Amino acid sequence: MFYFPSHCHSFYEVDYTVEGTSQFEFNNRVVDVSPGSLIFIPPLTMHSIKNDRRSAHLILQFSSRLLLNTLSSMEEHSILVPSGKLRENDVIQLLPGTAMNRQMMELLQNIPQFALPVPENEVQLAGYPCEQEIRLSAIVLSLLSSLLDAGLLQIVSTEMNNVNLAKMQMLLSRIIQYPEDKLSMEDAAALTNMSYSNFCRSFKNTIGYSYVDFCNVVRIHRAQELLLHTSMSVTEISELLNFGSISYFNRIFKKHTGCTPLVYRTSRR
């Protein structure tokens, strides 16, 4: 079993299971997937993955710029999110013979011929020849169109600013990879090449959270993993993630999950 810890990124991700089984955890739910399963992950959605050793996936990652540059009516504060059964279940099964299944098969047949290997936590910004990028973009857009037509995706307005989102990716990756580090807003601003005042204003407008709130969300997700997958005590987890006090840890944890760390651990095991 391979485990990818909780993370998020500034781009969209579509995960299609070709073979084997996996478990995705996001939106405070554990989702079991099998061959033919499709999961759609919007930007900034915290998720973790457990794959069995035989699993194989087709993973599509694309930035908001693909939509903004292609669709003149797409606004900077608009985002694609799951709808209908995809929202209810967090996963859909693509049935043989459907348009979406045919599109996935086309991707499977064509992507290995020209796709570049890209780590899961990085976005591919360049490297495709133009004709190949056009072909890949066309198939991805066709798949998104089918998902929209089927009521499985919808376009909604959000506080997130898609134009600035990519600029934050290095900072987001740092926060998620090292949630126990106390990164001041001054240091965070430096990582994004922004002044302190501009960073404070831009982070909330771009991400939809204040900087402090986002760091807390990431730390709580890490705490959830430690509660479920280690024998560390609640006090040890609180100290590791620099919450300052056990009472503050309990309060923030309950705010985001609806229960205390101890109740969360006992109810999930």
Are residue 127 and residue 258 in the same domain, yes or no?
A: no
Confidence of residue 121 (pLDDT cuts 50, 70, 90): very low
Tens digits of per-residue pLDDT, 193-217? Answer: 888 988 888 888 777 788 999 899 8
Are residue 80 and residue 112 in the same domain, yes or no?
A: yes
Tens digits of per-residue pLDDT, 45-69? Answer: 878 888 877 788 888 888 888 888 8
Which range (63-67, 253-257, 259-263) has the least confidence? Answer: 63-67
Predicted local distance difference test score (pLDDT) of residue 138: 85
Per-residue pLDDT averaged across 213-227, rounded? Answer: 90
Are residue 72 and residue 147 in the same domain, yes or no?
A: yes
**Cα–Cα distance list, 18 to 15, 104, 136 (Å):** 9, 10, 19
Which residues, in sequence order, are CB contacts of 39 under 8 Å at separation 6+? 14, 15, 24, 31, 33, 90, 91
Predicted local distance difference test score (pLDDT) of residue 207: 75
Predicted local distance difference test score (pLDDT) of residue 1: 54
Mark which of 100, 133, 157 sits at the end of a domain: 157
Are residue 257 and residue 172 in the same domain, yes or no?
A: yes
pTM to 2 decimals? Answer: 0.69
Are residue 28 and residue 112 in the same domain, yes or no?
A: yes
Q: Is the pLDDT of residue 124 over 50?
A: no
Q: Domain range spanning residue 129?
A: 2-157
Are residue 258 and residue 209 in the same domain, yes or no?
A: yes
**CATH number reported for the structural domain that contains residue 37 in this entry:** 2.60.120.10
Are residue 29 and residue 91 in the same domain, yes or no?
A: yes
Confidence of residue 150 (pLDDT cuts 50, 70, 90): very high
Question: Count of H helices and E strands in the chain?
Answer: 12, 10
- The domain total for the chain is 2
Confidence of residue 115 (pLDDT cuts 50, 70, 90): very low
Predicted local distance difference test score (pLDDT) of residue 229: 86
Q: Which residue has the higher pLDDT, 128 or 152?
A: 152
Nearest to 63 by CA among 9, 121, 24, 117: 9
**CATH number reported for the structural domain that contains residue 225 in this entry:** 1.10.10.60
Are residue 178 and residue 92 in the same domain, yes or no?
A: no
- The alpha carbon dihedral of 202, 207, 210, 212 has a sign of negative
Q: How far apart are the first and last CA of the chain?
A: 18
Q: Which residue has the higher pLDDT, 111 or 175?
A: 175
Mark which of 124, 157, 190 sits at the end of a domain: 157
